[in-house]
Amino acid sequence: MTEQEDSRAGESGAQAGGSSAAGSRGDEAERARLVEEEIRRLPVRDHLFLMMHSLSDLAAIRLGLVGESDACRDLEQARLAIEGYRALLGVLETAGSSQEIGPGRALLAQLQLAYAAAVKAEASESTRSETPAAEPGNQPTDS
């Protein structure tokens, strides 16, 4: 039996045996094939818009703007997502119509403003935590 025949025999044996691991691998392989097919079929412009959508979602989550995402709040990650979004928008501006780009620009502005507000809030919060509270006996008096 050749190596190729041995491989085929092993595959058909796994299929006949109804192995859930083999079925799972088959499902994963089928999903991977479908994703690959989708990637090949979509124009690059569409992929860029999909990436922008993902980055805007990530930015909102990392800014703590979505549901219970405070646990995921990470301003550095939010900044990276916003910068990635901005870069992709710049690429699309050269290839798209203003009707498609206008909403993207508006969303970028909203994300940038939310980021600036979050940074300001974090800075004032850290300033408050570093400043010791005035003790009752040490308060300045009007003399």
What are the structure tokens assigned to 20, written together?
Answer: 């859930």
Write the single-letter amino acid at 120: K
pLDDT at 141 over 70: no
CB 55 within 8 A of CB 84: yes
pLDDT band at 110 (very low <50, low <70, confident <90, very high): very high
Please write down the HEC assignment for all residues of the chain: CCHHHHHHHHHHHHHHHCCHHHHHHHHHHHHHHHHHHHHHHCCHHHHHHHHHHHHHHHHHHHCCCCCCHHHHCCHHHHHHHHHHHHHHHHHHHCCCCHHHHHHHHHHHHHHHHHHHHHHHHHHHHHHHHHCCCCCHHHCCCCC
Kindly report the length of the chain: 143
- The answer to whether the predicted template modeling score (pTM) of the entire model surpasses 0.85 is no
Per-residue pLDDT tens over the stretch 11-27: 444 444 455 667 788 89
Q: How many whole angstroms separate alpha carbon 40 and alpha carbon 44?
A: 9
| Sequence spans of domains, the chain | 44-123
Per-residue pLDDT tens over the stretch 57-90: 999 999 999 887 678 899 999 999 999 999 999 9
Per-residue pLDDT tens over the stretch 129-139: 665 555 555 55
Count of beta carbons in the 10 Å neighbourhood of residue 55: 21
CB 92 within 8 A of CB 104: yes
